[in-house]
Amino acid sequence: MSTAAGLIHGVDPSTPVIVGVGQAAERLDDADYAALGEADLAARAVSASFADTGAPAAVAAGVDVVAAVRSFEKSSPASHSPFGRPDNMPRAVAARTGMDPARAIEEVTGGQSPQHLVNEFGAEIAAGRAETVVLLGAEVMSTVRHALTSTGAHPDYTENVGGQLEDRGFGIAGMISVDEVKHGLVQPTPQYALLENARRHARGESREEYARGMGQLFAPLTDVAARNPFAAAPRAMTPAELTTPGDDNRVVAVPYTRRLIARDHVNQAAAVVLMSVRAATAAGVDPAKWVFLHGHADAVELPLMARPDLAQAPASVAAVRAALDMAGADADDLAAFDLYSCFPIAVSVVADALGLAADDPRGLSATGGLPYFGGPGNNYSMHGIAEIVARVRREPGTLGLVTANGGMLSKLSAGIYSTTPAPWRPPTSPQLQAELDRAERVPLCRFPDGPAVIESYTVLDPGTDRVSGLVIGRTSDGARFLAAAEPGDPALFERLLGADDPIGTTVWARSTPARNFVTVDEATMDRLRPRRTVGFADEYDDLVVRRDGHLLEVTINRPESRNALSARTNDELDAVFDAYFADPDLWVAILTGAGDKAFSSGNDLAASAGTGGLATPANGFGGLTSRRRKPKPIIAAVNGYALGGGLEVALACHVIVADEAASFGLPEVKVGLVAAAGGLVRLPRVIPPAVARDMILTGRKLSAEQALDYGLVSRIAPRGGVLDVARAVAAEILAASPTSVQASIAVMTDADANADTVGAVTDSLSILDRVLVSSDTREGITAFLQKREPRWTGR
C-alpha cells in the first residue's frame, strides 16, 4: 500500500466505493421455504454483501450508518403491516448481522431510493461524514399474502428494537394529488396506463402496433429473468405471450395485460456496502472488489397533472444525461444497463433518449425486470445495482448504468458504475432541478363543466363487471382535468375500447362533489347526470330552511355532531345558496347552527371517511368557501363553536355576529390537517396577522370578546340571543337599498383582489353607472324628500 501524496492505490482515501453486494429470495414452492419476515430476509442479503467483500467481520465491525429502503408496508398513510414488523428495521437487521451503527435511517417512499441512497452516501463518505455504510431493503409480500389466505397459524413479525432512527417519512408529496385520490387514481397501473396511451398517441401508432412494441421491448427481459436464480418468475416468453389477452393474461388496464406490469408478489431482499477507500483498505477488502460511481444524478418531475406533455419524462431523461456527462460517457460507452422497468414506458422514455433498441445486444435489464425478476416494492433497484456491480467486476473497465424510478415517472436517480478508479464528483442535481422546475405547468381545472377533448385515457378490467374508465381531458381554455368515464354511457366505452384512437375526440364533462365525469355528448350527460334545478327543496335532511319576506334563514340541523358538515350537508348548503342568490325576492340570508353548542365544528370526519373529506362542491365547504361571487349578504350567527371548517364558512360570510359563549378556532394542525378551505387565506386578512398565525399554527381558540376586539365579529349577543341579534342586523340591511347593498358587496369583492388601493377606488366608481340608473336610487331620493320610509324593489 502506498500513501504517497495522500493517495491509497492511487485514489483519494475519501473516495466512496462499493465493496460488497448481496441478494436473497425465497419462493413459496422452494423446498426450504421458511416464511421469513422482512428483517430476516434482509439479514440474509446483508450477510451475503459482507461475504462478497471478502472481509465480512472487519467490514461489519466498522459500519457507522445503516439505511433501509422503506417497505411497502410503510409507504403511505393507507399501508399497514398485517402481521407486525420491527419498530426499527435498520437496527433489527443490524442486530442480526453484527453491526452497531451510530446512525440508522429509513428512507422515503419510491423506487428511486436505492440509487438515491448510493448518491447521497457517496457524498457523505467523500465529505468524511461516514466511512462504512450499509444500504438494505426487503419485501415479503408473497409470504404476507399467502398467510392472509391461509387457515393455519399466522406469523408474528412484531419486534421492539428501539434505538435511534431517522425516519424520513413518506416523501410522496407531488406524487399524488387530491384530484387523483377523488377519482381513485391511487394505484400505479392506471397511472402509468394514462401515460402509456399518451405516448402511443404521440407516436401515431395503433393499439396493435403499440402492443407489439411493448412485447418486443419486454420479451428479452424474460430471457434474463429465466437465468436469474433470484427471479420470482423465471420463464422466457415471446412478445405475443406477453401482450395477447387470455384467461391467464387478462387486460388489467388498457393498454396493459397482466404480464406487462411489475410483479410485487415476491419475497426478495438486497444490500449494498459502501466504504471509503481508506476504510476498505483498513478492513482488508481486495481492490479488485472496488466499484466506483463515475456519474450520478437525481431529478424530480412535475406532478402528473401539471406536466406539459404526458408522453414525455424530461426529468428522467435529464438525470440520465447528467450522469453520463459527469462520467464523460455516452450510451455507446455503456456495456450494461438496468433500466427501471415497472411498466414499458419507464424503459421506453430512457431507451428512446439514449437511442437504444429493444433488441440491443447489451440488454436493457441486468436482472430481468420488475414484471419477471420481480418488483420488491421500493427496493427493486438495489437488485439492479447488485447485478450491475457484478457485471462490471466480471468485465473490468466497462461501464454500467442503473436507473431507479419512483412514483409515476416522478423521481429518477441514475448511477454509472465501473471498476476503473474515478474521483468522487460533487452532485450537479440542484442545478439540473432548477432548470426542470422552470418548465411551464399546465393549469388544472378541478371542476370541469362543458365540452372537452380527451388527452389520455385508460379502461380498467374491460370485459368484466368491474369495468371502469378514467380520462384526462382538456377544457376549451386548455386547462387539464381528471374525470371518470360515466359508467352508464356504453357509447363512451365503445369509443375508448374501439379500433379508432379516442385521444383528441370531444366529450362532455360535468363535475360533482365526489368526482368529475365525462360522456360522449351533452345530451347523454343531461340524461345520466342532469344539472341540479336551482330552487329550494320542500325539505332537507341536514338543514332547516325558512324564509320570511326578503329574509332567508338557514340552520345546520345536525346538533348530534355539533353541526359538522358531511358530504350531504355540503351539497344541501350549496343548493340552498344557489337558490338564495338566484331568487330576486330574497335580499339577506342568516346561517346558523341548531342547538346552543355549535355553529359548526367543521368537517364531519366520520361521515366523510369514505371520501377522505374530499367530496365538497365546486363552491367549496358549506357551498361558500370557494364561491367566487356572493352578491347578496350572508350573516353568520355563531351560537357556539365555530371550529375548523365551521370558522372557514363563517369567514366566507359578510357579517359575523356571536353569542357571548361562542368560540372560534382552526384546530386542524392538532389532527394532522390544514385549514385549506379558506382559513389560511381569510383569517390573516380579517384579524391582525400575528394573531391569525398564532391561531393557525397552535390551534388556539378565541372567545367571543376576543373575536370582537380583533375585528372577527361585529356584534356580541347575550347567551342564547344570537339569532335575535342576527335578525336585527338583517333588518337594518333590509332597511337599506338592496341595489346599493349588492353594489357595495361587488365593489368590496373586487377591491379584495386589487392590491392597488387607489386603483381599486378608481375602479369602484364604475359601479355608479349601474346604481344611479336603478329604481332604488330614484325611490331612495324621493322617500328622503318626502320624509317617508323607502319602498325598495331591489331593481
Residue of 48, 545, 14, 485 whose CA lies nearest to 270: 48
Position 556 in a domain: yes
Q: In whole angstroms, what separates CA 674 from the centre of its chain?
A: 16
The answer to whether residue 648 is catalytic is: yes
Q: Which residues contact 352 (CB under 8 A, 6 or more apart)?
A: none
Question: Is residue 473 scored above 50 in pLDDT?
Answer: yes
Question: Is residue 770 scored above 80 in pLDDT?
Answer: no
What DSSP state is assigned to residue 138?
E
Q: Answer yes or no: are the C-beta atoms of 629 and 584 closer than 8 Å.
A: no
Mean pLDDT of 768-790: 70
User: Do 747 and 613 reside in the same domain of the chain?
Assistant: no
Q: How many CB atoms lie within 10 A of CB 108?
A: 20
- pLDDT value at residue 613: 54
At 201-219, the pLDDT tens digits run 999 999 999 999 999 999 9
What is the residue range of 742's domain? 738-786
Q: Answer yes or no: are the C-beta atoms of 385 and 115 closer than 8 Å.
A: yes
Position 391 in a domain: yes
User: Do 584 and 648 reside in the same domain of the chain?
Assistant: yes
User: Do 168 and 315 reside in the same domain of the chain?
Assistant: yes
Q: Of 518-527, 534-543, 601-610, 786-795, where does mean pLDDT reach its minimum?
A: 601-610
**Candidate list 120, 205, 668, 705, residue with the active-site label:** 668
Number of domains within the chain: 4
Q: At which of 381, 410, 436 does a domain end?
A: 436
Question: Is residue 704 scored above 90 in pLDDT?
Answer: yes
Question: In which region does residue 546 sit, left (phi positive, over 0), alpha (psi from -120 to 50) or beta (all else)?
Answer: beta
d(CA 590, CA 139): 57
Q: Of 175-184, 318-327, 339-348, 758-767, where does mean pLDDT reach its minimum?
A: 758-767
- pLDDT value at residue 607: 63
User: Do 505 and 644 reside in the same domain of the chain?
Assistant: no
- pLDDT value at residue 152: 79
Residue of 327, 332, 339 whose CA lies nearest to 296: 327
Q: Where are the beta strands (DSSP E) in 549-626?
A: 551-556, 588-593, 598-600
At 707-765, the pLDDT tens digits run 999 999 999 999 999 999 999 999 999 999 888 888 888 888 887 766 554 554 445 45
At 392-406, the pLDDT tens digits run 999 999 999 999 999
User: Do 586 and 722 reside in the same domain of the chain?
Assistant: yes
User: Do 469 and 611 reside in the same domain of the chain?
Assistant: no
Mean pLDDT of 556-573: 95
Mean pLDDT of 600-605: 89
User: Do 780 and 718 reside in the same domain of the chain?
Assistant: no
Q: The domain spanning residue 603 has which CATH number? A: 3.90.226.10
Binning pLDDT at 50, 70 and 90, where does residue 247 land? very high
Position 196 in a domain: no
Residue of 314, 358, 364 whose CA lies nearest to 339: 364
Binning pLDDT at 50, 70 and 90, where does residue 769 land? low
Q: At which of 503, 528, 553 does a domain end?
A: 528
Position 600 in a domain: yes
Whole-angstrom CA distances from 530 to 317, 469, 470, 526, 617 are 45, 20, 20, 4, 16
d(CA 125, CA 63): 12
Give the three cell numbers for residue 166.
431517522
Range picked from 76-90, 265-279, 734-748 for highest mean pLDDT: 265-279
At 644-703, the pLDDT tens digits run 999 999 999 999 999 999 999 999 888 788 898 999 999 999 999 999 999 999 999 999
User: Do 271 and 133 reside in the same domain of the chain?
Assistant: yes
For residue 127, list its beta bridge partners.
none
Mean pLDDT of 259-288: 97
At 610-655, the pLDDT tens digits run 444 567 899 999 999 999 899 999 999 999 999 999 999 999 999 9
Mean pLDDT of 177-189: 90
Map residue 46 onto helix, strand or coil: helix
Question: In which region does residue 397 sit, left (phi positive, over 0), alpha (psi from -120 to 50) or beta (all else)?
Answer: left
**Candidate list 124, 139, 648, 705, residue with the active-site label:** 648
More confident residue, 8 or 638: 638
Q: The domain spanning residue 482 has which CATH number? A: 2.40.50.840
User: Do 332 and 479 reside in the same domain of the chain?
Assistant: no
Bridge-based pairing state of the strands 103-106 and 166-167 = parallel
Q: What is the mean pLDDT of the chain?
A: 93
Position 414 in a domain: yes
Q: At which of 692, 719, 734 does a domain end?
A: 734
- The answer, yes or no, to whether the previous bond of 423 is cis (omega within 30 of 0) is no
Mean pLDDT of 10-21: 96
d(CA 119, CA 136): 14
Position 29 in a domain: yes
Q: How many residues does the chain have?
A: 795
The answer to whether residue 486 is catalytic is: no
pLDDT above 70 covers what percent of the chain?
95
Question: Is residue 777 scored above 80 in pLDDT?
Answer: no
For residue 146, list its beta bridge partners.
none
- pLDDT value at residue 761: 46
Position 236 in a domain: no
Mean pLDDT of 468-483: 97
Mean pLDDT of 183-193: 94
d(CA 435, CA 430): 9
Residue of 666, 683, 532, 673 whose CA lies nearest to 614: 673
For residue 438, the one-letter residue type is R
Q: Which residues contact 149 (CB under 8 A, 6 or more apart)?
A: none
User: Do 417 and 383 reside in the same domain of the chain?
Assistant: yes
- pLDDT value at residue 755: 58
Q: Where are the alpha helices (DSSP H) in 541-607?
A: 567-582
Q: The domain spanning residue 27 has which CATH number? A: 3.40.47.10
Position 298 in a domain: yes
Question: Is residue 159 scored above 90 in pLDDT?
Answer: yes
Map residue 150 onto helix, strand or coil: coil
Which run of H or of E encompasses 771? helix 767-771
Mean pLDDT of 522-539: 94
Give the three cell numbers for residue 691.
394573531
User: Do 169 and 318 reside in the same domain of the chain?
Assistant: yes
Measured distance between the N- and C-terminal CA atoms of the chain, rounded to whole angstroms: 97
Residue of 147, 24, 136, 120 whose CA lies nearest to 86: 136
User: Do 639 and 774 reside in the same domain of the chain?
Assistant: no
At 31-58, the pLDDT tens digits run 999 999 999 999 999 999 999 999 999 9
Map residue 665 onto helix, strand or coil: strand
Mean pLDDT of 589-606: 92
pLDDT above 90 covers what percent of the chain?
84
Q: Which residues contact 464 (CB under 8 A, 6 or more apart)?
A: none
